[in-house]
């Protein structure tokens, strides 16, 4: 069995290939090839443990995937100088059930979440989008920036974080690395008002984006909240937008951004235009006009992890990177 560390993943995964793998996973999902049990939440006093298994049946000219991710999310960790998220991914041989690889789940989660937003941005944002806005400049923000730069010719990225120094450090760290202008702004509304594509990547339980600040033609990737009681965008924003989700099942059980608005009677289940898989495969339309406001709500989908885990395993074997162990 191969052990693939964060450093290994950083050296073998290219964002373009990760985006391609995630887009392919959504296409396979539309064809009914994935078996995905509901994500389980093991709630603890200080956090939650999430379990995310999945299986892709072999298709014509393509192998299957079998694996599971186990993730811990402890909101108090950053105050202790620890990561918010820890995670491990176990990849199995889908034909025999034998373990193939143990993979760092934190980097895997980060890069696949960025890739999912990039796929959504590719299909749902205006093709001429030049300004990106990121609200929340924690670890996930870097993945979002790199991924969206891969699918859109972004010229400027506007940033906001409730901890201003963190936003400024993010700007300093990434401006030289990626060759894009980064500017820290004073409020989420200011970011939204200036951006063509907006990412919310916060741990806030209450809205950081108000519908009143949205302008026509904006696309939003709403990725932070993943429980029915928390949300990053208010009901007015949800009402204004054409809504898309990573999966109906996940969104209708976990996406507080949508569920709270439904509870208020602002939207209904029928107002969700489609899953990302349906847009990728052309089953449902994505953006239909230049002035539409589009919103992709992501709570995390096991197929994304599985597809990137297989890609990482194949790359690790090809390049001889990682550590082989005997159980």
Extents of the domains making up the chain = 2-109+303-324, 124-300
Question: Is the per-residue pLDDT at 106 higher than 70?
Answer: yes
Q: H or E stretch including 273?
A: strand 272-275
Between these two residues, 225 and 304, which has the higher pLDDT value?
Answer: 304
pLDDT at 239: 97
Q: H or E stretch including 101?
A: strand 99-104
Q: Active-site residue 284, yes or no? A: no
Q: What mean pLDDT is predicted for residues 153-160? A: 97
Indicate the pairing of strand 323-324 with strand 2-4: antiparallel
pLDDT at 58: 87
Question: Is the per-residue pLDDT at 60 higher than 80?
Answer: no
- The CATH fold assigned to 124-300 is Rossmann fold (3.40.50)
From CA 248, how far away is CA 235, in angstroms rounded? 19
pLDDT at 122: 98
Residue with tokens 């990573």: 246
Mean model confidence pLDDT for the chain: 95
From CA 13, how far away is CA 291, in angstroms rounded? 35
Is the separation of the CB atoms in 277 and 26 below 8 Å?
A: yes
Q: What mean pLDDT is predicted for residues 270-278? A: 97
- Indicate which residue of 69, 122, 146, 297 is catalytic: 69
Question: Is the per-residue pLDDT at 61 higher than 70?
Answer: no
Give pLDDT tens digits for 298-314.
999 999 999 999 999 99
Asked if domains 2-109+303-324 and 124-300 share a fold, the reply is: no
pLDDT tier at 172, thresholds 50, 70, 90: very high
Percent helix / strand / coil, the chain, rounded to 5: 40, 25, 35
From CA 327, how far away is CA 320, in angstroms rounded? 19
From CA 235, how far away is CA 208, in angstroms rounded? 12
Q: What mean pLDDT is predicted for residues 3-19? A: 98
Give pLDDT tens digits for 115-148.
999 999 999 999 999 999 999 999 899 999 999 9
pLDDT at 193: 96
Distances (CA, A) of 274 to 16, 223, 300, 315: 25, 17, 16, 33
Which CATH number does the domain 2-109+303-324 belong to among 3.40.50.1100, 3.30.1780.10, 3.90.1560.10, 3.30.70.560?
Answer: 3.30.1780.10
Residue with tokens 């993979």: 103
- Per-residue tokens: 145: 């920036």
Question: Is the per-residue pLDDT at 85 higher than 90?
Answer: no
Q: What mean pLDDT is predicted for residues 58-72? A: 86
Phi and psi based region of residue 36 (left: phi greater than 0; alpha: psi -120 to 50; beta: remaining): beta
pLDDT tier at 161, thresholds 50, 70, 90: very high
pLDDT at 79: 85
Q: What mean pLDDT is predicted for residues 76-97? A: 92
Question: Is the per-residue pLDDT at 73 higher than 70?
Answer: yes
Is the separation of the CB atoms in 251 and 223 below 8 Å?
A: no
pLDDT at 78: 82
pLDDT tier at 176, thresholds 50, 70, 90: confident
- Per-residue tokens: 190: 């200011």
pLDDT tier at 190, thresholds 50, 70, 90: very high
């Amino acid at each position: 069995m191969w052990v693939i560390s964060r450093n290994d993943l950083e050296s073998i995964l290219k964002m373009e290939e990760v985006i391609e793998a995630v887009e392919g996973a959504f296409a396979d999902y539309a064809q009914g090839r994935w078996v995905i049990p509901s994500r389980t939440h093991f709630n603890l006093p200080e956090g939650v443990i999430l379990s995310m298994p999945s299986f892709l049946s072999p298709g014509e000219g393509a192998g299957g995937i079998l694996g599971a991710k186990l993730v811990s999310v402890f909101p108090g960790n950053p105050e202790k100088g620890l990561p918010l998220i820890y995670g491990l991914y176990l990849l199995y041989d889908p034909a025999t059930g034998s373990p193939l690889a143990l993979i760092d789940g934190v980097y895997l989660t980060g890069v696949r979440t960025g890739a999912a937003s990039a796929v959504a941005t590719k299909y749902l944002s205006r093709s001429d989008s030049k300004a990106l806005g990121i609200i929340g400049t924690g670890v996930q923000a870097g993945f979002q920036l790199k991924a969206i730069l891969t699918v859109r010719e972004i010229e400027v990225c506007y940033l906001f974080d409730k901890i201003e120094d963190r936003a400024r450090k993010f700007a300093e760290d990434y401006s030289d690395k990626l060759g894009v202008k980064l500017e820290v702004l004073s409020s989420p509304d200011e970011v939204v008002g200036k951006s063509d594509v907006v990412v919310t990547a916060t741990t806030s339980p209450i809205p950081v984006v108000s519908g009143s600040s949205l302008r026509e033609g904006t696309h939003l990737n709403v990725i932070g909240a993943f429980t029915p009681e928390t949300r990053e965008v208010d009901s007015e924003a949800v009402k204004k937008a054409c809504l898309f989700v990573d999966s109906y099942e996940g969104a209708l059980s976990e996406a507080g951004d949508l569920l709270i608005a439904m509870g208020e009677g602002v939207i209904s289940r029928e107002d969700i235009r489609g899953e990302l898989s349906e847009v990728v495969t052309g089953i449902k339309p994505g953006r239909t006009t230049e002035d539409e406001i589009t919103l992709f709500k992501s709570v995390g989908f096991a197929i994304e992890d599985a597809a990137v885990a297989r890609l990482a395993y194949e790359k690790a074997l090809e390049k001889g990177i990682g550590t082989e162990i005997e159980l």
